[in-house]
Amino acid sequence: MKLKILLIIYFIFTLLLAGYFILPNNSFPTPPVDAVRSTEPADSETPLRRAYFTNYTREQIIDHYRAQFAGPITLRLNYPPEEAGTIIRDQTRSYYLEELAQPLRESLYVNGFVPTKAKDDIWYKGQHFAQKITIKHVSSSVFVRIILLFGIYIVGSLIILEWYLLMDEIVKTVKKE
């Protein structure tokens, strides 16, 4: 009886997880209102990474992208700026690097370069900007997520079964003593 209840709860959890996995991916988010898209070669070599010049603050930018990248579970992760060369693109300058992650589904990386020295001031097409942001969208295939879901379901079922058998054995041992 206890095993049935446990399996029913696990089945409901798996159905909720399936609903989360089947949700469609977010499309590439739109830039902030005043942002100007960079046409520099390194900023336009892939459609999954775009760079913009803007006068927004870090919090305004993160709030803007968080509103567009909302999901049932969205985590905000902060990385050291040194990781930008690995995560965004080699030779990417960075003042901050954050990830908006939907676990097991997709991520949106937001890299911001805010100049701290006068020689690094950002001028683009004759206009001065407070910072340059680079946005990278990384998503996964629904089919891969479904395969992952089946793996989680099978392994989880085996763990529950083994746990139940172990608890049953412990109860029998305690009753004998």
In a domain, 22, yes or no: no
Which helix (H) or strand (E) segment holds residue 102: the answer is: strand 96-102
Q: Are residues 58 and 115 in the same domain?
A: yes
Across the range 13-35, mean pLDDT stands at 89
Q: Are residues 106 and 129 in the same domain?
A: yes
Report d(CA 136, CA 133) in Å as an integer.
Answer: 10
Name every residue whose Cβ is closer than 8 Å to that of residue 15 and which is 6 or more positions away in sequence.
none
CB 56 within 8 A of CB 35: yes
Q: Are residues 45 and 115 in the same domain?
A: yes
Residues 89-117 have pLDDT tens digits of 988 899 999 999 999 889 999 999 999 98
Range of the domain at 58: 28-139
CB 34 within 8 A of CB 56: yes
Q: Are residues 33 and 113 in the same domain?
A: yes
The total number of residues shown for the chain amounts to 177
In a domain, 23, yes or no: no
Residue 43 has pLDDT above 90, yes or no: no
Q: Are residues 83 and 110 in the same domain?
A: yes
For the chain, percent of residues with pLDDT exceeding 70? 99
How many separate domains does the chain show? 2
Q: What is the pTM of this model?
A: 0.83
Phi, psi of 64 (to 5 degrees): -60, -50
